[in-house]
Amino acid sequence: MSIQDSYLVQPKYGYDMVVAVTQKALNNTIKEYYATVAASNTPFTLQTCYFVKDATGNPVAIDQASLLALTNNIDPLTVTSSQTDDIKTLVKSTFYFAFQFEPGDPTGTNKFTYLTLNPGANSVIYYLLCTTIKIAFWNPDAQTWINVTQTRANEFNINANIDLQNVLDNSNLPPAVQAEVKNLGTTDVNVQQLLFDFDSSVVNPTTDLPGLDSASSVFKPLMQQFATAYFNAYAATWVPVLNYALTQNNASSLIPTRMDLYIDAINNGQGDPVTVDPTLSQSDLSTLNYLFSVNGDALPAGAQLNWNWLEDNGVSPTPDLDPNADVNLYSGAIAIKRDAFARYFASQLDQYVALNCFSPTVLCQPQPSPVDDSFLASFFPVDVSQLTDPFQPYSPFNGPGSDQLLMYWFNQSASAKGTVWAGDYMDVTVHFVLTLSVLDTTLTIYQDLWLLLNATINRVPYSGAPIKKTYTDVFDLVVDDSGNIAFQVNAAQSSVLDQSVPVTLPYEQGQFLVNYINSLSVQSFTQVPITMPKQFVFPGGNAFTFKDAQFSDYSDLVCHVTYLKES
């Protein structure tokens, strides 16, 4: 299973657009962030935090000078278990706990997994790694003094469950950001970063701190305050890699109007999610899915997809180590539902269709002598909004491997008129068809324009098609050097069939047809008048670039993507 299996039109999904980012790509982005901070002139600074108990026993932050005034100038972070007198003084005070830390990779190897997705839970496990960390407190349960310092890379395994935050429902954003969110869909504002609800962070009981049992009464308040301070250190030092962002003037042609988040597990060969003891390779292929609707469409609730966005490369037991595995080639995928793509394309082609849909009217102007009879044919534009809806829903009868018809415009109008004097008559039929279909990496526009005429005028007969042209324009999906998805004419597969028959009626009677023919000559597309979504920006401010583009077996437009910094 892979990107070719994208099938968003299923009722249980129905999202107009999905941007899926793998767990591995998210970790790579966080690693780049840490590496950038480490190499900068403004790295993380050492954070020192002290807490006392308030009247209800809850922790309250306090500055060092105020704490020392309460503890007879004893700094808890300097006290060892052998300093019994100082410990007694601290226990008698309102001191609760203290910690000192600096965020970062403790080994300098940048090989950690910083983030693990929780499929179905819409939360992540985030590892609060520190280059240095020191913690001091009195453990009332064990009646022991704890003062520990991280001495090896894996000693302090501190991790937190953090809920993902949907910015559209977040009432806690700053007012300026909320104002932009309210404009989503009416302007070019687009949600563009991974969002964590830091207020929801809960440090896991699996956290390993020497001397502190997770069942201890100190554990929860200490770890909660540590997590809050840890994430605040991001904001204090750099633009937060894991916060919110809204970017003006998004280049995307499909502007989202609603957004939700859902975490997918990797599927096995039967389309069932692997949720029990997944390997690291399987976890790295799980994806954070950004679910979008456009044009005010309803956005169904997030659900586990029954396909994978990237190939699981099952031939290798450790695809993480295989440089040719999808997980190492791409950050994820973008998919546009065939219905949303078709209707967007229709909005680009409606005006063109309107120029070629006519209804003919034939008038007879009999004169005293039959040879003087004349006919007048007029052609009036057809209101394309009155035509049958050209949109074609997905047909399961045209299964994978066959053309999928997305749009079908059809107009056929006829008019007939006879005379009294000479039995002259004129029948005119105007016929126009335009279809849009897709298959693999090609898009095909097929169109017919016919003007059919049966007439006898002043004893001169004519039966034929002054206009009978069929155009087949085939376009290949290509990706240019800037990552734009484009449509390029495939001249070898495109064709023009011209079966027009010249008008042989007398000049006086036939010139209006000649003029009409000249005005309605169908012109083959040389460039599809459409711009496709190009830019989406997610964690770390990295923009995606498109590595390829194709139509899935179910006619969704799908693309593998990477972050620009990974290209």
What are the tens digits of pLDDT across the range 235-262?
Answer: 665 444 444 444 444 455 677 777 778 8
Rounded to 5°, the CA angle 183-189-190 comes to 120
Better-predicted residue by pLDDT, 84 or 280: 84
What are the tens digits of pLDDT across the range 216-242?
Answer: 889 889 988 998 888 778 666 544 444
Better-predicted residue by pLDDT, 62 or 482: 62
When pLDDT is averaged across residues 137-166 and rounded to a whole number, the result is 82
517 has a pLDDT exceeding 90: no
What pLDDT, on a 0 to 100 scale, did the predictor assign at position 399?
Answer: 61
Confirm if 364 and 516 have CB atoms less than 8 A apart: no
Q: Dump the DSSP string for 454-482.
A: EEEETTEEEEEEEEEEEEEEEEEEEE-TT
Q: Dump the DSSP string for 393-457.
A: ---TTS-TTS-EEEEEEEEEEEEEEE-SSS--EEEEEEEEEEEEEEETTEEEEEEEEEEEEEEEE
What pLDDT, on a 0 to 100 scale, did the predictor assign at position 317?
Answer: 57
557 has a pLDDT exceeding 50: yes
What are the tens digits of pLDDT across the range 311-328?
Answer: 876 555 566 677 788 888
Give the range among 92-101, 209-218, 296-305, 351-360 with minimum mean pLDDT: 209-218
88 has a pLDDT exceeding 90: yes
464 has a pLDDT exceeding 50: yes
What pLDDT, on a 0 to 100 scale, did the predictor assign at position 409?
Answer: 93
Better-predicted residue by pLDDT, 252 or 67: 67
When pLDDT is averaged across residues 454-468 and rounded to a whole number, the result is 84
Q: How far is CA 87 from CA 58, 79, 96, 220, in A?
A: 21, 7, 12, 22
477 has a pLDDT exceeding 50: yes
What pLDDT, on a 0 to 100 scale, did the predictor assign at position 352?
Answer: 80
How much is the pTM?
0.80
What pLDDT, on a 0 to 100 scale, did the predictor assign at position 80?
Answer: 94
Q: Dump the DSSP string for 25-93.
A: HHHHHHHHHHHHHHHSSS-PPPEEEEEEE-TTS-EEEE-HHHHHHHTTS--GGG--TT-HHHHHHHHHS
pLDDT tier at 469 (50, 70, 90 boundaries)?
confident
| Domain range annotation of the chain | 3-338, 357-520
